[in-house]
């Protein structure tokens, strides 16, 4: 019986995740295919204007968008889904003959690298500071940290990025902006060497600082309130009454329980790692997937745009699914109740 309910909870979550991915894939297909002035029509029109015969223009469009125009719309849609399932996103319009999947593999690792490192630093730092704030709540430490956390969370991250570049780069000249842009210095190739790692971190440094600064505040505040509510639990009182050392109560009783709800948020945040931030990446000209997305949009490279968007969404969906599972494992009350 219990096992049945358990599988039921996971099953519902799985169906929800799949439906979301399916809806997004369908939505992008019909948006690109059916909108008035849609990219397909525009592409064919430009080809015609360049003197390409209609038939050939349609063939080119078909091969680019992986859509066979002679077939009925529903069959085209099925083809599209079939290609997606095989991980075939078509070819880029701008860099001719380059498969979209290849482009994604080139840009994605940089975003994953920067955002994962930032998320790690920000999560750990936020947890530690949050516990400190909860322990010394209403002291000057707590007040200063709370104030800073709420201020820095309300400033747009791209503004912080610009201020860092202008103040520390242009004004104080702590680093050379022209040199630090991009994800690697010219001539440096990805390899297992100290030299490569040093260069990668040198270029990733500024985006990491910005991500950490703009996300650490909310981790701090959430951890603080979680810790404060845990401090009031009965088992903490009991532990005190049993005369357990204060430091041990803090680490094994309070912090361990207070951190639980944050792991679920962490799982959700991991989904957003793939998307990175088009804004931060474009300010630092960091060659990640977010920059590629905004490039694809300005150059109207629809297959690339569509694929990146799908991947970003799918990773958030998968992360949410994992977070739900994690929540179900951590909190038995959730998986036993329906919905």
Partner 1 sequence: MKNILISLKDSLKIMMRNKVGFIGFLGTIFFLLLAFVGPYLMPLNMKADLNSIYTGPTIGHPLGTDYQGRDILMQILHGGREVIYVALMAALLTILIAATFGALAAVAGGLIDTVLNGLAEIIITIPHFPLLLVLASLIKFKSPTGLAVILAAIGWGGLMRSIRAQVLSLKERDYVEAARVLGLPISHIIFREILPNMLSYISVQFILSMTSAIYAQVGLIFLGVVPMEQHNWGVMITLAWNQGALFNSRAQWYLLVPITIIVLLQLSLITMTRSMEELFNPRLRRGG
CA 7, CA 29: separation in Å to the nearest integer? 33
Q: Name residues whose C-beta falls within 8 Å of residue 17's C-beta, 6 or more positions apart in sequence.
A: 317, 318, 320, 321
CA 99, CA 36: separation in Å to the nearest integer? 27
Question: Could you say which of 119, 308, 323, 327 contacts partner 1 (CB under 8 A)?
Answer: 308
Beta carbon nearer to partner 1, 107 or 253: 107
Beta carbon nearer to partner 1, 230 or 277: 277
Q: Are 288 and 281 in contact (CB under 8 A)?
A: yes
CA 294, CA 337: separation in Å to the nearest integer? 43
From the list 73-81, 219-227, 247-255, 304-312, the region that binds partner 1 by CB under 8 A is 304-312
Beta carbon nearer to partner 1, 12 or 238: 12
Binding mask 102-141 for partner 1 (x = CB under 8 A): ----------------------------------------
CA 71, CA 75: separation in Å to the nearest integer? 6
Residues 139-168 touching partner 1, rule: CB under 8 A, are 150-151, 154-156, 158-159, 162-163, 165-166
Q: Are 224 and 137 in contact (CB under 8 A)?
A: yes
Give the DSSP H or E segment for 262: helix 260-273
326 lies in the binding site for partner 1 (CB under 8 A)? no
293 lies in the binding site for partner 1 (CB under 8 A)? yes
From the list 23-31, 89-97, 216-224, 251-259, the region that binds partner 1 by CB under 8 A is 23-31
CA 35, CA 29: separation in Å to the nearest integer? 10
| Residue environment code for 264-284, b if the CB has 16+ CB neighbours within 10 A, otherwise e | bebbbbbbbbbbbbbbbbbbb
Beta carbon nearer to partner 1, 146 or 257: 146
225 lies in the binding site for partner 1 (CB under 8 A)? no
CA 323, CA 329: separation in Å to the nearest integer? 10
Backbone angles phi, psi at 186, to 5 degrees: -60, 135
Tokens found for residue 201: 């971190």
269 lies in the binding site for partner 1 (CB under 8 A)? no
Question: Could you say which of 6, 10, 20, 62 contacts partner 1 (CB under 8 A)?
Answer: 20
From the list 100-108, 203-211, 212-220, 290-298, the region that binds partner 1 by CB under 8 A is 290-298
Question: Could you say which of 104, 207, 320, 324 contacts partner 1 (CB under 8 A)?
Answer: 320
CA 82, CA 87: separation in Å to the nearest integer? 9
316 lies in the binding site for partner 1 (CB under 8 A)? yes
How near is the Cβ of 53 to partner 1 at its closest, in Å?
27
Q: Are 288 and 107 in contact (CB under 8 A)?
A: yes
Where along the sequence are the contacts to partner 1 (CB under 8 A)?
16, 19-20, 23-24, 28, 31-32, 35, 38-39, 150-151, 154-156, 158-159, 162-163, 165-166, 169-171, 177-178, 272, 275, 277-279, 282-283, 290, 293-294, 297-298, 300, 302, 305-306, 308-309, 312-313, 316-317, 320
């Amino acid at each position: 019986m219990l096992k049945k309910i358990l599988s039921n909870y996971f099953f519902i979550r799985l169906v929800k995740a799949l439906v979301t991915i399916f809806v997004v894939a369908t939505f992008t297909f019909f948006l690109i295919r059916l909108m008035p002035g849609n990219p397909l029509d525009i592409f064919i029109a430009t080809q015609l204007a360049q003197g390409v015969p209609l038939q050939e223009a349609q063939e080119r469009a078909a091969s680019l968008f992986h859509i066979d125009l002679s077939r009925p719309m529903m069959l085209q849609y099925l083809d599209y889904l079939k290609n997606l399932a095989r991980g075939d996103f078509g070819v880029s319009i701008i860099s001719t003959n380059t498969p979209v999947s290849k482009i994604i593999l080139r840009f994605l690792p940089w975003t994953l690298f920067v955002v994962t490192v930032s998320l790690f630093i920000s999560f750990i730092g936020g947890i530690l500071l949050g516990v400190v704030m909860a322990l010394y709540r209403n002291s000057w430490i707590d007040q200063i940290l709370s104030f800073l956390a709420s201020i820095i969370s309300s400033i747009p991250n791209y503004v912080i990025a610009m201020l860092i570049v202008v103040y520390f780069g242009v004004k104080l000249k702590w680093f050379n902006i022209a040199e630090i842009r991009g994800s690697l210095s010219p001539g440096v190739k990805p390899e297992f060497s100290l030299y490569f790692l040093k260069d990668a971190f040198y270029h990733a440094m500024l985006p990491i600082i910005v991500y950490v600064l703009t996300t650490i505040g909310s981790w701090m505040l959430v951890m603080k309130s979680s810790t404060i509510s845990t401090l009031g639990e009965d088992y903490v009182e009991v532990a005190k009454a049993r005369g357990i050392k204060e430091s041990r109560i803090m680490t094994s009783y309070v912090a361990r329980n207070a951190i639980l709800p944050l792991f679920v948020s962490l799982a959700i945040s991991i989904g957003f790692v793939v998307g990175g931030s088009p804004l931060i990446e474009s300010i630092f000209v960091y060659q990640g997937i977010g920059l590629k997305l905004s490039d694809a949009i300005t150059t109207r490279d629809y297959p690339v745009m569509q694929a990146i968007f799908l991947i970003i969404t799918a990773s958030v969906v998968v992360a949410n699914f994992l977070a739900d599972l994690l929540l179900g494992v951590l909190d038995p009350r959730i998986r036993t109740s329906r919905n």
